[in-house]
Structure 1
Amino acid sequence: MTDLPPLPDPRHGGGWPRLAPLGTDGILVSFADRLDDKANRAALSFRAAAEDAGLAGLAETATSLASAYLRFDPEVATPARAAAAVRALLDARDWYASPLPQGRQLWRIPCVFGTALAPQLAEAAAAAGLSPEAAIRSIAGTRLRVQTIGFAPGQPYLGELPPEWDIPRQTALTDRIPVGAVCVAIRQLVLFTVSTPTGWRHVGQTAFRTFRPGDAQPFVLRPGDEVEFTPIPAEAYAALRDAGPDGGATCEPLT
């Protein structure tokens, strides 16, 4: 790609959004340099608009927490033509004020908070200045957006939680957390799709599987979807786990 200097947007300040080449055939459109609700909304909205616009040669798109990535087929669109099309679309509106894309889903996912299934709830709650009971109410009472998919296939980063949840990761790793674990740090939750070591505190456990490699749509959650966790007793977990990959979760369209 050709050199792409920042395209300042005075409506947001700080010289954002910014365009930069990524590899030989991609453009990264960044709306901030860190997680920010408006920037995440802008990235999701811009990606959807780019796909809907039918940009010549657009072969692939993705979003991160605050950026959108667009890859172009160089046999269809030259770097200059691709850059010009992205600039024109970016300048078409205030993406920070754009609505979220259509076609999103609201998922309600049963979750065991605390107990031996999620043993770090009390520790995380204390770090947030909350009792375990207040921590459960806070998390369960917050509708969370799938901000991005990353780290492992189909794995969602969910946010943002209220400000008291701006707690750091652990200084040491937990040796291994199970698939379906809900872990917290820096005002986000991660719903783990793999069993792995982590520095995030394990506060909840679900039977929901967000990565289903044998399905036609292996990534169940998509960026922009929303999630609510419904507290359930630990005794209910085994039955939900045995019932199938949804783990008792339900979904409905968002308008």
Structure 2
Amino acid sequence: MTCETPISPGAGAPAWPRIRTLGVDGVLISFGDRLEEPANRAALALRDAIERAGWDGIEETTSSLVSTYLRFDPLHCDAATVTARLESLLATRDWSTAPLPRGRRLWRLPTVFGTDLAPQLAEAATMAGLTPEAAIAQIAATRLTVRTIGFAPGQPYLGDLPPAWDIPRQTGLTPRVPEGAVTVAIRQIVLFAISAPTGWRHVGQTAFRLFRPEAPEPFALRPGDEVIFDPVAPDKLERMRGDGPDGGASFETLP
């Protein structure tokens, strides 16, 4: 069951953010109804603030494209108490301009664009009004932010590409793309953590392993991290497959 509790009731109340309870132990704070950078920034920053606050009774936090979710222990506190804390925290600042979480990293991922490894580059480039060469250059020049993790363990949604890349998903499904596939639609890139069917167009291929269940941190990327896809030749990528789970990738910590 979901019930909505407005932060500022009454006429003239702002549409966002909204606090809603989910079942008996969940609360969802939404900053919009569509993906926009300020709403995503707010969701990431609020989650970080809740985690740093260390509220008693909070058992889990996560974020989606435009929302922050927290799960609480109903034997320790109730939804009204959690909602009151959230209202107080939300009132402290404009979360759409808040700094992104500390400890973010900038990753560089060696990527083969096109060829038989990523056969839909030319189709996607045409839809974006670009040549394949220009499409590769534009993607490679864009620092993409991990907006959220979803669909599969550790799988990131990255954005935003320039406006030309506001292309739709396919009406049908590609039967399967491999782990490490770089796929594109609606100005976003999804980097595949597993081999799976998709309606997104397969334009690049990496050797980067996103889900590492054997590691202390199973997800290689975190929301708020940034990614650059560096073009490489197919033979170089093949050699990198033997370089461990990073597949030739490197990162630096952002200030």
Give the TM interval when normalised to the shorter protein: over 0.9
Q: Quick one: distance in 2 between partners of 1:245 and 1:79?
A: 41
Which secondary structure does the structure 2 equivalent of 1:80 belong to?
Answer: helix
Q: Quick one: distance in 1 between partners of 2:49 and 2:171?
A: 40
- TM-score w.r.t. the length of structure 1 is 0.96
Per-residue CA distance 1:112-150 (angstroms, 9 max, x = gap):
000000000000000111110010011000000000000
How far does residue 236 in structure 1 lie from its aligned partner after superposition?
Answer: 1.1
How far does residue 16 in structure 1 lie from its aligned partner after superposition?
Answer: 0.5
Q: Which amino acid aligns with 1:102?
A: R
Which secondary structure does the structure 2 equivalent of 1:115 belong to?
Answer: coil
Matched positions, count? 252
Partner of 1:208: 208
Q: Quick one: distance in 1 between partners of 2:3 and 2:93?
A: 23
Say whether residues 1:226 and 2:226 are aligned partners. yes
Judge conservation of contact 1:8–1:18 (CA < 8 Å) in 2: no
Q: Which amino acid aligns with 1:131?
A: T
Per-residue CA distance 1:44-101 (angstroms, 9 max, x = gap):
0000001111222111000000000011111221221111111111111110111111
Q: Which amino acid aligns with 1:196?
A: A
How far does residue 22 in structure 1 lie from its aligned partner after superposition?
Answer: 1.1
Q: Quick one: distance in 1 between partners of 2:183 and 2:161?
A: 12
Correspondence 1:95-174 to 2 at 5 A: 95-174=95-174
Give the 3 Å change call, closer, same or farther, for CA 2–240 of structure 1 in structure 2. closer
How far does residue 7 in structure 1 lie from its aligned partner after superposition?
Answer: 2.3
Q: Which amino acid aligns with 1:152?
A: A
Say whether residues 1:47 and 2:51 are aligned partners. no
Partner of 2:70: 70
Q: Quick one: distance in 2 between partners of 1:188 and 1:94?
A: 25
Which secondary structure does the structure 2 equivalent of 1:108 belong to?
Answer: strand
Q: Which amino acid aligns with 1:254?
A: L
Judge conservation of contact 1:39–1:66 (CA < 8 Å) in 2: yes
Which secondary structure does the structure 2 equivalent of 1:183 belong to?
Answer: strand
Judge conservation of contact 2:21–2:79 (CA < 8 Å) in 1: no
Partner of 2:249: 249
Judge conservation of contact 2:2–2:22 (CA < 8 Å) in 1: no
Q: Quick one: distance in 1 between partners of 2:196 and 2:136?
A: 24
Give the 3 Å change call, closer, same or farther, for CA 93–64 of structure 1 in structure 2. same
For structure 2, the residue ranges without an aligned partner over 5 or more in a row are: none
For structure 1, the residue ranges without an aligned partner over 5 or more in a row are: none
Q: Quick one: distance in 2 between partners of 1:160 and 1:6?
A: 30
Partner of 2:92: 92
Correspondence 1:173-212 to 2 at 5 A: 173-212=173-212
How far does residue 240 in structure 1 lie from its aligned partner after superposition?
Answer: 0.6
Which secondary structure does the structure 1 equivalent of 2:101 belong to?
Answer: coil
Q: Quick one: distance in 2 between partners of 1:19 and 1:108?
A: 37
How far does residue 14 in structure 1 lie from its aligned partner after superposition?
Answer: 5.7
Give the 3 Å change call, closer, same or farther, for CA 8–236 of structure 1 in structure 2. farther
Q: Quick one: distance in 2 between partners of 1:34 and 1:4?
A: 18
How far does residue 4 in structure 1 lie from its aligned partner after superposition?
Answer: 4.1
Judge conservation of contact 2:175–2:197 (CA < 8 Å) in 1: yes
Q: Quick one: distance in 1 between partners of 2:61 and 2:167?
A: 31
Judge conservation of contact 1:7–1:15 (CA < 8 Å) in 2: no
Partner of 2:239: 239
Judge conservation of contact 1:8–1:16 (CA < 8 Å) in 2: no
Q: Which amino acid aligns with 1:190?
A: V
Partner of 1:22: 22
How far does residue 8 in structure 1 lie from its aligned partner after superposition?
Answer: 5.2
Which secondary structure does the structure 2 equivalent of 1:28 belong to?
Answer: strand
